[in-house]
Chain A
């Protein structure tokens, strides 16, 4: 027996309840391969039987693991490249000149997955903005998944992960060997912080304001109402003149009228409209 239709509906509801992600019907094929390891771990050899067990047990820990297993965590270094070029050539120079007296900068990766996005920013700062070494730079990453938060915090990546978008010159400069994996140097790791946070549970807990918010490749999984609530919250966490960056397939248009776009290097950033 495999995952039946009504069981997939149960999974969709569970995922929606805990993460607000809308799991499309076309993802049904994923259930089998993603849930098998969890089923085996508790001695069940059949995914259908496993889902039935999850349904009966109301075990919150197990539900959380199911949601994590059904979540797409795909991420890579310097994803899409152009937003990072734009950070280097426009966004950061602008922020540096405007914040030159405060000498403080804060950046938030709001669905940080295994950390590559935030670490890419940290590496970029280290490479291209040596003049900021004595600034107070705060780099925060948050994700719904505890497992991803732990992985990001460890800063250890497999060769398959290193292959995805990381220039070899940066690999040799910022990583060391750790068995068959690679570990980020402490200079970079000590600059960032990761914690768990559910973007869909609004209002958000008290957070500082950020000069740059990276909210990338996560809105696509939400329904319109959730997207709107999240954008509204994000708007309130942007410092005056701060920048919001979305994924390539994401936009604020039709969701919020409070942003205007700025383009640089072929990447689009959002800023709060002046009134």
Chain B
């Protein structure tokens, strides 16, 4: 069974970015901490945890524009939630295959980006920071599983 490491998460998130947002420059390693928006997906089953994808409002708008093929002034809040939610969904789906299964994914929940304390008191075990179009993107994993 593959283990959850920052490197694995970096690889899969970069792959997702280049597949879903191919017209922009690739996702690069970064160091800025949090963003303004976070979409979180729960993984429940053999392994329990939460995956959060957070980014700045500008990154979210650029991603949303690319995904929906919309000019910036036509993007709605609903579009942003949907686009960031789907990116979080695909990231979590791929993380799910790195942890012991079977398990299922929840629908993405939108939170504000500084939401680093998980309400279910799971511990934050991984935080991987990226930079994309000069904006911060962060993937976080919370779990009660010590491994």
Contacts and interface: CB of A to CB of B under 8 A. Distances in A.
**Direct contact, A vs B (beta carbon within 8 Å):** yes
Interface of A: 33, 158-160, 179-181
B103 to A, nearest CB: 13
Nearest to A180: B97
B8 to A, nearest CB: 8
16 contacts: A33-B26, A158-B15, A159-B94, A159-B97, A160-B15, A160-B19, A179-B2, A179-B97, A179-B98, A180-B2, A180-B8, A180-B12, A180-B94, A180-B97, A180-B98, A181-B2
Nearest to A33: B26
Contacts of A179: 1-2, 97-98
The 9 closest A-B pairs by CB, nearest first: A179-B2, A180-B97, A180-B98, A180-B2, A179-B1, A160-B15, A33-B26, A179-B98, A180-B94
Contacts of A180: 2, 8, 12, 94, 97-98
Interface residues of B, number: 10
Nearest to A179: B2
Given A33-B26, A158-B15, A180-B8, 14 more contacts: A159-B94, A159-B97, A160-B15, A160-B19, A179-B1, A179-B2, A179-B97, A179-B98, A180-B2, A180-B12, A180-B94, A180-B97, A180-B98, A181-B2
A160 B97 CA distance: 13
Interface string B47-75: 00000000000000000000000000000
Nearest to A160: B15
Contacts of B94: 159, 180
Interface in B1-48: 1-2, 8, 12, 15, 19, 26
Contacts of B12: 180
A180 B2 CA distance: 7
B132 to A, nearest CB: 13
Contacts of B19: 160
Contacts of A159: 94, 97
A161 to B, nearest CB: 11
A160 B2 CA distance: 17
A179 to B, nearest CB: 3
A41 B26 CA distance: 19
Nearest to B12: A180
A181 B2 CA distance: 9
Contacts of B26: 33
A158 B94 CA distance: 11
Contacts of B1: 179
Nearest to A177: B97
Contacts of B8: 180
A249 B107 CA distance: 45
Nearest to A40: B29
Interface in B77-130: 94, 97-98
Contacts of B97: 159, 179-180
Nearest to B15: A160
A151 to B, nearest CB: 15
A159 B2 CA distance: 14
A181 B1 CA distance: 10
A181 B15 CA distance: 14
A112 to B, nearest CB: 23
A253 B138 CA distance: 53
A229 to B, nearest CB: 36
A82 B32 CA distance: 49
A3 to B, nearest CB: 16
Contacts of A181: 2
B129 to A, nearest CB: 15
A146 B115 CA distance: 45
